[in-house]
A and B are shown apart, each in its own frame.
Chain A
Amino acid sequence: MGMTITEKLLTAHSHAGPVAPGDLIQARIDLIMCHEVTTPPAIRMLKDHGMDKIFDPGKVVVMPDHFVPNKDIKSAELAKDLRQWVQDNGIEHYYELGRHGICHSLLPEQGHVVPGQTVIGSDSHTCTHGAFGTFAAGIGSTDLAAALYTGELWFKAPETIRVNLEGSLPAGVYSKDIVLELIRQIGVDGARYQALEYHGEALKELSMEARMTITNMAIEAGAKCAVMAADEVTLDYLEGRAKTTEWTIYTADDDARYARELTIDVSQLEPIVALPSLPSNGRTVASLAADEKEPVDQVYIGSCTNARIEDLRVAAQIMKGQKVKPGVRVIVVPSTSTAWKLAHDEGLFDIFYEAGCVISTPTCGACLGGHMGVLAEDEVCVSTTNRNFVGRMGHPGSRVYLVSPATAAATAIKGVLTDPRQYL
């Protein structure tokens, strides 16, 4: 019987025979991502159980990213614990401030992610890495500890939902709009326990950066993982950056079994906004009546979803020669040090500065209401991040709207939610 990409990936990494949905398996892990929030508890667990050896330090990539530069004494202690553990275990792939970045942007950018891997990280958006044809899933701290020690982890093989992206994206509409539309259609638990497998002409046209925005938000549909078969775009991206040349490209069999199949004609899409407080509350920006557009206090262009160099270019293109609406704070946070440097060299910071934005070093920061842009009660933020749950970016009484970088930039200029196509 035919297999989906996820079934093939899990089969290749388990001791059992062919893996079918529902099977409980132990999978070998190729790449483990660790950051400073969820790794210190795992370090403590390993110590408590006398398991002080990592199965293969070369497969572990570590970076502080959530609360850096350290926001307070307690977060400084977390980062310190992480750094000490890296030294004690001789972990080579460690990204200190200055070369750091948000985990899910940094790992692919630095060439750690290649097709055919199993990737885990103690962070729910680890599903991002499925854009490279990997099995990539977010897990908790205990899972992390177990995988660091044994090199394996238990998984229940998921069913797969096939998503066909057909047509061609119109100008002003981006991969963020595609994924917000998908989540609008299937809901925040529409793919619970399942894998999302992407196909279609529109997918082929998307860059790796744009693809990662889609796989990033698989967890917002409840999915275990998202996967896209590696193709020429993937191989081009890996050229000169992949840390290994050993990879395997898996494609879905024609007779693979899917739990469900759905098709989105992306040529019909418009810029979308997810209204508070669920990522599934999608509406086209154009459909919002004037009284549905509340004045915006903050625009946030950041996070592992949409703060790669392409995203910054899109936002800058719209803001060029424009001014931020008085009363609006605009925070631009490139997702990695490399993206920061590129944006700087390309003159994007001048554009953002002239428009009236503030620019920060890479950090998760305000995305999770951590620091560098936390919202007060009743404040409204239009954000390029992935979650708009109650209290996500600060006070439980604040409200977050999720959009593409283009819509965020247009909104910064007008001070209310704005369709970016008028600036193209």
Chain B
Amino acid sequence: MQGKAHLYPRDHINTDEIIPARYLIVHAEAELARHAMEDIDADFVNQVAKGDFIVAGGDFGCGSSREHAVWALRGAGIRAVLADSFARIFFRNAVNNGFYAIEIDGISDKVTNGDQLQLDPEKGVVQNITKGEEYRFSPFTDYFRDVITAGGLMKYLAAR
């Protein structure tokens, strides 16, 4: 998995910023995607190419339980969020959707906006191709890995 980093180094980027409540009247991913990150960065959706990454500070996704935050980011083309840490409901929602939320303490200081990154979730490694650096994280536990590779909790349950 390779893509460009979109860096938002701030802590506490909350779900109201990822997808404002005024758009919660729909849940179609494509429609939510048009407004992803709108209140932080109005140009975000124009900058993202399919397979890109968000790199962020701590407590990413705090606030409301809206899964719309994950759908909006995924719909906009984001493959994974790499953050110093995650708020718990966002992390749950990511796993449940088969979407990667990867916690790497300090990553928001190491990556520069626009860096090319490569993610290997099995090995627990992010390569920064632009900088020639490598960041490690603990791979997911069996249950999380199974849910994510099944494509999310519903697919995981359906297969059992």
Verify B88–A74 contact, CB threshold 8 A. no
- Which one of A71, A126, A387 lies within 8 Å of B63 (CB-CB)? A387
A156 to B100, CA, bound (A): 18
A66 to B68, CA, bound (A): 15
Judge if A222 is at the interface, Cβ distance under 8 Å. yes
- Which chain B residues numbered 25 to 79 have a C-beta less than 8 Å away from chain A? 25-27, 39, 58-59, 62-68, 70
Q: How far is the CB of A392 from chain B (nearest CB, A)?
A: 5
**Interface mask (B8-28 → A, CB under 8 Å = 1, otherwise 0):** 000110101100111011110
Interface residues on B, range: 35 or more
Verify B67–A391 contact, CB threshold 8 A. no
Judge if A51 is at the interface, Cβ distance under 8 Å. yes
* A contact residues around B89 at 8 Å (CB): 124, 138-140
Judge if B97 is at the interface, Cβ distance under 8 Å. yes
Per DSSP, chain A at the interface is: loop
Q: How far is the CB of A143 from chain B (nearest CB, A)?
A: 6
Verify A188–B157 contact, CB threshold 8 A. no
Q: How far is the CB of B160 from chain A (nearest CB, A)?
A: 10
A71 to B85, CA, bound (A): 36
- Which chain B residues numbered 90 to 126 have a C-beta less than 8 Å away from chain A? 92-93, 96-97
Judge if A40 is at the interface, Cβ distance under 8 Å. yes
Q: How far is the CB of A163 from chain B (nearest CB, A)?
A: 19
Judge if A95 is at the interface, Cβ distance under 8 Å. no
Verify A140–B63 contact, CB threshold 8 A. no
Q: Which residue of A lies closest to B87 (CB)?
A: A222
Verify A41–B67 contact, CB threshold 8 A. yes
Judge if B1 is at the interface, Cβ distance under 8 Å. no
* A contact residues around B155 at 8 Å (CB): 49
* A contact residues around B157 at 8 Å (CB): 49, 51, 146, 149-150
Judge if A389 is at the interface, Cβ distance under 8 Å. yes
Verify A391–B39 contact, CB threshold 8 A. yes
- Which one of B85, B96, B152, B153 lies within 8 Å of A189 (CB-CB)? B85
List residues of A whose CB falls within 8 A of some B CB.
24, 37-38, 40-41, 44-45, 48-51, 66-67, 71-72, 74-75, 78, 122-124, 126, 138-143, 145-146, 149-150, 154, 188-189, 192-193, 219, 222, 224, 278, 368-370, 374, 387, 389-392, 396
5 A-B interface contacts by CB (under 8 A): A49-B157, A140-B70, A141-B27, A146-B153, A189-B85
